[in-house]
Structure 1
Amino acid sequence: MLNEVGNSLLAYSDLFLVHCPKCNSCSKIFTPINALGRGEARVLGHESKRFLCEKCGFVKDIHPKRQWDGLWSFNFELFDEKQGVDWYFGFPLYLQTQCCGHTIWFFNFEHLTDIEEYIQKNIRPAQLYYLSIESRLPKWMKLSKNRKEILKAIDRLKQRT
């Protein structure tokens, strides 16, 4: 999946696991099938999104608007991914915990698995693409001295669901 969108965080934006604001359980934010309508080009990150809590039944949708230039976008800036919230509703990510004095977070299990594989590598090839997930990881996550602690935190998150 990473090669499709330049190995960036956008590759994981079709599914966010978040805390439900009503019952605090693990819920999903996802892209409904055919989110923009028949025949519309798909632009990752600028599609309708649906929040769904299967435990309490809370559902919420958000839709982009067509701009004057024919492109789809939201009427607001997407949330800053560094804050540990989803980009669309601002709900806290479900897969986050404290590690090495910092908060470590993941959008979904695929994101978690890809970062885990990177952290486990003893020799990490340098990525030339400046938006790659690996190049955007904070320095403390890349240090080998923190590897065991980060992998323990990832294991704790895997056990949550």
Structure 2
Amino acid sequence: MRRKLARFVESDQPVDYMGGYDHALVHCPRCDGMAVRRKERVTCGSCAYTSELRRKPKEVKSEPPQVVMCPECNRYVGTYRSDLRLLRLRCRGCGWVKEPTISDSWGKPKRQKRTQLWLEVDFRGEQLWAVNEEHLNFLESYVAAGVRETSPFNSTIASRLPAWIKSGKNRDDLLRALAKLRTRLPENMPPTR
């Protein structure tokens, strides 16, 4: 006997696009607990951490170009700027070459720009994530549905889901993974509005 699958109607969903969610659940940078990100601010309820994500851009002072003369034959070779690290200079008279210098800062790892989402799990080598509880409810209703009525346009959340989420063969495993994400939510979750 087959089980009866639910029906998913996209027009009944409260949020039509990813930017429609007013907050996201993220890891707190200080205590690694659950924090709420709204617009450009991260706020943690357990350690009272608050941070502004948008910082003023630093002024980049560019050095004036330096005139380079050949040390061998004293001819004009060209101009050289220190911020252009990959500039190679060559004297046409004697063949003297100045190779590009490699800065130590290139080897340092780049800092992660976004805060890590609280509702994130690995699913068969792919990242399955939800922004908040409302987004998790949307994903659960979409995956559990046997019949999915979506708009023909590529402007909604459902139309932009990856194929491995849309595939019916992953339904049971995806529902288990989404249930695992649901367990990450606290039982007495405070209102987020």
The interval holding the TM-score normalised by the smaller chain is: 0.5 to 0.7
TM-score, normalization by structure 1:
0.66
**Correspondence 1:96 to 2:120:** yes
The answer to whether the aligner puts 1:121 opposite 2:141 as a matched pair is no
How many residues align? The count is: 120
- Which of 1, 10, 17 is the aligned partner of 1:8? 17
| Higher Cα Rg, which structure | 2
Tell me which of 141, 163, 168 is aligned to 1:144. Answer: 168
* Other-structure match for 2:50: 59
The TM-score, its normalising length taken from structure 2, stands at 0.56
CA contact (8 A) 2:13 2:138 kept: no
Q: Quick one: structure 1 residues 56 and 90, their matched pair in 2 at CA, closer, same or farther if it must change by over 3 Å?
A: same
Higher strand share: 2
Which residue is equivalent to 1:27? 35
Q: 1:50 aligns with which of 41, 44, 56?
A: 41
Distance 1:64 1:123, change over 3 A: farther
| 8 Å CA contact 2:26, 2:118 repeated in 1 | yes
In structure 1, what is the Cα distance between the partners aligned to 2:155 and 2:51? Answer: 30
The code of the aligned residue for 2:132 comes to N
Q: CA RMSD in A?
A: 2.6
Cα distance in 1 for residues equivalent to 2:35 and 2:159: 29
Q: 2:19 is matched by which residue type in structure 1? A: L
Q: CA 1:5–1:149 in 2, change beyond 3 Å: closer, same or farther?
A: closer
Q: Distance in 2 between matches of 1:138 and 1:106?
A: 13
Aligned amino acid, residue 36 of structure 2: K
Contact 1:17/1:94 (<8 A) preserved: yes
The unaligned stretches of length 5 or more in structure 2 are: 1-10, 57-111, 187-193
Per residue, is there more helix in 1 or in 2?
1
